Structure 1
């Protein structure tokens, strides 16, 4: 499986999280502690928003292991952003190629995923046909993760992010039931439009991959007044990670099973996650009607 992080807060150099922590994302590419495997060397990617810019986010992705990419190290040292996503990949079967590396981008939206659609080979055709026809040409790779993104866009990600992901998951689960596939969805997901950041933790069997969110900064500042990094960033700063970036006690809180976290400049919110089967079935009826 993969490892990822999502950052929202004061603009910082990417290297502050990718390289500098004791258990940084780059360290996790070689020595993951909570993943299915210890090595995540099947590509990497980072997507970031430029402060004050209205343009779509920038992507930098590569097919080699993150720990050996000198260009990533140079970029991480020079790029600063207040909102970025980063991912290190361990393929679940699809090819190691740039278009299969996360994050994925459509317009202002970024998306990354850890997990899998079980039975993807059997489900892929039906799930692909469910993507809105105007969105289909933008699918660049062959992963289940990117297809999940375009299904979420089809189900209204831009209007209702939580509801769209709930409908996307329900559609995949219902198709899994139809084809006799047990526990089809395993996911932690981060997605953002450059303003809000949504992180989801869910699996059909309710035994999801690990996910953590940084503790509120005022609490950490009280606990660790001598830590200069905690004193410099804004209170609104949050980091969501597949596994903690270090051993600072109290710094990381697990995201609950079947839940989501929303991080915005005005604060963060937590909610429960429930696949929306009624709305997902509406999409199936629309597909059936379109096919005659």
Structure 2
């Protein structure tokens, strides 16, 4: 499927997140993913970030393979942000085009997905008819992921993200039952308004794509006092990833199945999650 990364903490360059880690999102996971459904994720990429210059996040998306895009490499060395979402894509059937690349944006909100809605072609009409008529014209691409985003916005994402995502996936599973589609939901989702971050791991089958969060930076500093990278991160730094960015023992904690992870500043909460 895909691989993604969500970062919140002290401002860093995109280069620090996308290229420098040992198992970096761009140079390693896009070509040699260890835990993904496919080792190569070359059907486009995207990155979204927040800064003080605009109330809405910036977004850069391309259909080029992430590892060979010179524009991304140039941009990454100059953009600094304290909240970043990045995604490398392996299509599950929809077209390779910019409007199908993640993250998707609406106002201050960004959204990414790794996985799929099984039987989406059969469910698409039902799901999109459930989208608010005022939001429906804003759907630009043809992916299940973007439809999920606007379905969640319709159901209250901006007010209560966990409830809205639970309701959106509930709509998907109900539509799937009507069309005889087994196990329709698969994957991990993340959304943010630039202040808080919500990540979800769920599948109808109970076999979700992988998801990890970093161990507390203060704990890692004690364990690895000679590691210079750890001294450059604040205690509030939180990274949520499809697969670990490096091999530092104890640095990554797997997010459990059927879970919502809420990150608010340096605080995080793990909640049980299921469709409503």
TM-score bracket for the superposition, by shorter chain length: over 0.9
Instruction: Find the counterpart in structure 1 of residue 24 from structure 2.
Output: 24
Distance (whole Å) between structure 1 residues aligned to residue 248 and residue 241 of structure 2: 14
Instruction: Find the counterpart in structure 2 of residue 59 from structure 1.
Output: 59
Distance (whole Å) between structure 2 residues aligned to residue 17 and residue 54 of structure 1: 22
How many residues align structurally? Answer: 275
Give ranges in structure 1 of 5+ residues lacking alignment.
277-292
> Is residue 237 from structure 1 mapped to residue 237 from structure 2 by the alignment?
yes
1:7-63 deviations in Å (ceiling 9; x for gaps): 00010001111001111001110000101111000000000001x345200000000
TM-score, scaled to structure 1 = 0.93
Distance (whole Å) between structure 2 residues aligned to residue 162 and residue 74 of structure 1: 36
> Is residue 37 from structure 1 mapped to residue 38 from structure 2 by the alignment?
yes
> Is residue 4 from structure 1 mapped to residue 4 from structure 2 by the alignment?
yes
Distance (whole Å) between structure 2 residues aligned to residue 229 and residue 137 of structure 1: 45
Instruction: Find the counterpart in structure 1 of residue 109 from structure 2.
Output: 109
1:178-237 deviations in Å (ceiling 9; x for gaps): 110000000201100010011100000010000000011111111111112211221110
1:239-278 deviations in Å (ceiling 9; x for gaps): 00000011000000000000011111151111010211xx
Change (3 A) 1:138 1:72: same
- CA RMSD across the alignment: 0.8
Instruction: Find the counterpart in structure 2 of residue 279 from structure 1.
Output: none
Instruction: Find the counterpart in structure 2 of residue 246 from structure 1.
Output: 246
Distance (whole Å) between structure 2 residues aligned to residue 262 and residue 227 of structure 1: 28
Aligned positions of 1:87-106 closer than 5 A: 87-106=87-106
Instruction: Find the counterpart in structure 2 of residue 259 from structure 1.
Output: 259
> Could you list the runs of 4 or more consecutive aligned residues of structure 1 that deviate by over 4 angstroms after TM superposition?
none
Instruction: Find the counterpart in structure 1 of residue 167 from structure 2.
Output: 167
Instruction: Find the counterpart in structure 1 of residue 268 from structure 2.
Output: 268
Distance (whole Å) between structure 2 residues aligned to residue 112 and residue 91 of structure 1: 13
TM-score, scaled to structure 2 = 0.98
8 A contact 2:235–2:266 mirrored in 1:
no
Distance (whole Å) between structure 1 residues aligned to residue 123 and residue 74 of structure 2: 40
Q: Secondary structure at the match of 2:171?
A: helix
Distance (whole Å) between structure 2 residues aligned to residue 229 and residue 11 of structure 1: 14
